[in-house]
Chains A and B, each alone.
Chain A
Amino acid sequence: DQQVKQNSPSLSVQEGRISILNCDYTNSMFDYFLWYKKYPAEGPTFLISISSIKDKNEDGRFTVFLNKSAKHLSLHIVPSQPGDSAVYFCAATSLGGADGLTFGKGTHLIIQP
């Protein structure tokens, strides 16, 4: 059973608008969440993270929101730029645990000019 779900395989957004990528999780032991960005033929790169003690974290154009009661997080990109076109992975972990990251399937974000 998938513990981290990204239900939108792709998302198309106009340049300059807001991109919202969603992620749901089922494991209540997860307490740390990350977003990664991946370009074709490259490895994923870390984008932004959030701890379960927070409900929002901002870094420039990127903001991650966490709703613990709904087990839902979202990544907002404002404004969207052409270079943001990539696959975005949501990942989760338990900081006190021994395992690594559990990833969602990814959302392919396409920024239209």
Chain B
Amino acid sequence: NAGVTQTPKFQVLKTGQSMTLQCAQDMNHEYMSWYRQDPGMGLRLIHYSVGAGITDQGEVPNGYNVSRSTTEDFPLRLLSAAPSQTSVYFCASNLHQGDWNEQFFGPGTRLTVL
């Protein structure tokens, strides 16, 4: 198993550009989520999904869109990047919502918006 994979590892964008951060898991997990981590801050939940076709907002959803067309993939879209979105983004998955002891994180994507 590859676990949770994220691409790209690093990305630099200009303000107003759009991009998609990719996240995939091969563990057949139902629950997937996206967090952002800013310097000196903990991880904050952006969006989550309890299964294919179902997504919901977390604590800081503004400026981000998600979709979950398959169990494996949970891409995060920035439609018009802003400097405030400079952060490290982590994708995570667990078998079911509530299986927090078995939540696996990807290695992260470091995004800089100029």
Contact = CB atoms under 8 A, between A and B. Distances in A.
29 contacts: A9-B40, A42-B108, A43-B4, A43-B90, A43-B104, A43-B105, A43-B108, A44-B90, A45-B105, A46-B100, A46-B101, A91-B43, A93-B100, A98-B97, A99-B58, A99-B59, A100-B45, A100-B48, A100-B58, A101-B43, A101-B100, A101-B103, A102-B42, A102-B59, A103-B35, A103-B42, A103-B44, A105-B40, A105-B41
Interface of B: 4, 33, 35, 40-45, 48, 56, 58-59, 90, 92, 97-98, 100-108
Nearest to B38: A105
Nearest to B6: A43
Contacts of B45: 99-102
Nearest to B31: A100
A43 B107 CA distance: 4
Interface residues of A, number: 25
Contacts of B35: 103
Interface string A31-44: 01010000001111
Given A43-B106, A43-B108, A49-B101, A4 B42 contact: yes
Contacts of A6: 42
Contact of B43 (A42, A89, A93, A99): A89
The 3 tightest CB contacts between A and B, nearest first, are A43-B105, A103-B42, A103-B43
